[in-house]
């Protein structure tokens, strides 16, 4: 079932709420400012967004904080149709190392990443449920290096576990990735050259 059109599913949800004159609340898990730039520009037209920065996979603290501060700066500098706020999640890299134990040598895109996604999306699902959000999702599907099918499967499962709706997405569609590069230049965003964990640092 790798051929699901997640963008079409997102279009369907947006149209449904637009036809009812609704602006649902969305908890958007964000990995970094460049990836979030397009997602925020696009989704903030239709949702009331809270950015959820929960990334214990970035075990180098300076890197973690740099990406967080870039995210905060981006949100403060962008113009949105509906307001966007930022919430920082707990930061404890031990949660990541525990989740991926035994998978440290896996190639990027493999089982280590699956566990890393599950850790972050499970936390986002809990946060969305506790905060009474209508939906939650992640910016991670914008990356051409990330498996959108895997992310959507994991997100939907986390949503089912915690009783909150997962918003399907594949943000690289509709030229999303290209637009994120344009926006990153416009806002002079820091673009890291590795995913986040020390195993992806090369």
Binding site for ligand SF4 (CB under 6 A): 57, 108, 112-113, 116, 195-197, 199-200
CB of 31 to ligand SF4, least distance (A): 8
CB of 159 to ligand SF4, least distance (A): 19
Rg (CA), the chain: 16
Nearest to ligand SF4 of 84, 158 (CB atom)? 158
Closest CA to 23 of 140, 166, 177, 134: 134
Closest CA to 39 of 75, 69, 72, 68: 75
Task: Tell me how far apart the alpha carbons of residues 140 and 62 are, in angstroms, rounded to a whole number.
Answer: 21
DSSP state of 200: G
CB of 115 to ligand SF4, least distance (A): 7
Nearest to ligand SF4 of 7, 57 (CB atom)? 57
Nearest to ligand SF4 of 168, 199 (CB atom)? 199
CB of 14 to ligand SF4, least distance (A): 27
Nearest to ligand SF4 of 16, 145 (CB atom)? 145
- 3 CB contacts (<8 Å, ≥6 apart)? none
């Amino acid at each position: 079932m790798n051929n699901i059109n997640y963008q079409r599913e997102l279009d369907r949800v947006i149209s449904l709420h637009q036809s009812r004159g609704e602006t649902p609340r969305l908890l958007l898990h964000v990995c970094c400012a460049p990836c979030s730039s397009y997602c925020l520009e696009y989704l903030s037209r239709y949702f009331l967004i809270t950015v959820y920065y929960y990334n214990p996979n970035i075990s180098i603290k300076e890197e973690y904080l740099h990406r967080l501060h870039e995210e905060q700066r981006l949100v403060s500098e962008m113009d949105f149709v509906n307001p966007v706020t930022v919430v920082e999640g707990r930061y404890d890299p031990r949660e990541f190392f525990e989740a991926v134990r035994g998978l440290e040598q896996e190639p990027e895109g493999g089982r280590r990443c699956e566990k890393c996604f599950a850790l972050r999306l499970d936390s986002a699902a809990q946060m969305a449920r506790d905060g009474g959000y209508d939906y939650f999702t992640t910016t991670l599907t914008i990356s051409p290096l990330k498996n959108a099918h895997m992310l959507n499967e994991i997100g939907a499962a986390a949503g089912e576990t915690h009783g909150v709706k997962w918003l399907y997405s594949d943000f690289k569609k509709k030229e999303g990735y290209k637009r994120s590069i344009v926006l990153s230049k416009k806002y002079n965003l820091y673009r890291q050259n590795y995913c986040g964990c020390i195993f992806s640092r090369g």
